[in-house]
Amino acid sequence: MAIADELQTTIEHMVQAGKGILAADESQPTIAKRFAPIGVESTEENRLAYRALLFTAPGIEDYISGVILFEETLGQNGDDGTPLPEVLARRGIVPGIKVDKGKGPLALSPGDLITYGLDGLAERLRQYKGQGARFAKWREVYSISERNPTPLGISANAEMLARYAAVCQEQGIVPIVEPEVLIDGDHSLARCAEVTEAVQKEIFHALHRHHVALEHMILKPNMVLPGKDHPVRASAEEIAAATLRVFRRTVPVAVPSINFLSGGLSPEEATANLNAMNAGFPHAPWLLSFSYGRALQQTVLQAWQGKAENAIAAQRALLKRARLNGAAQRGEYRAAMEASD
């Protein structure tokens, strides 16, 4: 199969009405933080048990089209010896892989960050593809302050995302491009909109320079939100209007899907905001969907508590949040649904 055909097939499987992406790609330090509140040690055995629980939850294939895996998970097997990527693929869920290597300071640009991992990426992607991965994810982050992100920070991060996406497509892997303007701080909704617009414009200029086919990528951005320390909260409708205003100005219609990250939002907030976008703006040129980590898993962890006897309850918690977000993708979510089993 030609590479363009491979990419198109993957996109068609991932971009489906009523479905989104589960981000289960937490690094070992991050998943240790997720486990700590429930008193579970982050051992390989516990990580495998938890993620296998997620991937085998009955019915999630009705609402989840893809799962982002951590490198460790890509090489693990379920109880019956089946590789976890194959467990997903057999259910019609596309396996993907986080490929960046974390972030650090951008040299000579105080307050800006840059993500590592381009060295050897093509070789790693060939290995991951052989293990069943059909898409990849790379995250760049932008902190908001009076001076950040700087023009240099915005351009450098855009260049990294574009170079990563080009390498992915060359290898027949669909890239998820994730630029996250962080919720940390006391900035206003308007300031977040200003930064997000500048970030998105620069990213799509860079993608064009690197000949990335927009039809064969997925954008995973932040919603436009006031900082978590800002004194004025915004309604779901205000967030939806501000977010869509920015993306109409910056994201070409060739991009098939915008799968929002949840950042620091609660599960209920993330679902309500996505619903407001789809209910209030039903004719957006892209599929507006979700690629949530914590907002899908928070209630799962609370139900699981690291105990095998809680596995069914934890899977039901995942199915519920997946179902509610599937409804939000269609603009059909209502707050009253939170009370249902």
Catalytic residue among 98, 137, 220, 320: 220
Quick check: is 98 catalytic? no
Local structure of 143: helix, strand or coil: coil
Using CA atoms, how far apart are residues 332 and 339, in angstroms rounded to an integer? Answer: 15
**Which residues does 157 contact at the CB level (< 8 Å), separation at least 6?**
112, 113, 114, 115, 140, 142, 149, 179, 199
Using CA atoms, how far apart are residues 22 and 126, in angstroms rounded to an integer? Answer: 23
Handedness of CA 189, 274, 256, 330 (dihedral sign): negative
Identify whether the C-beta of residue 72 lies closer than 8 Å to the C-beta of residue 47.
Answer: yes
Using CA atoms, how far apart are residues 276 and 338, in angstroms rounded to an integer? Answer: 16
Identify whether the C-beta of residue 24 lies closer than 8 Å to the C-beta of residue 293.
Answer: yes
Return the CA Rg of the chain.
19
Local structure of 327: helix, strand or coil: helix
Question: What letters, b where the CB count within 10 A reaches 16 and e where it falls short, cover 154-182?
Answer: bbbbbbbbbbbbbbbbebbbbbbbbbbbb
Look up tokens 């982002």; give the residue.
Answer: 68
Query: Which amino acids are annotated catalytic?
Result: 220
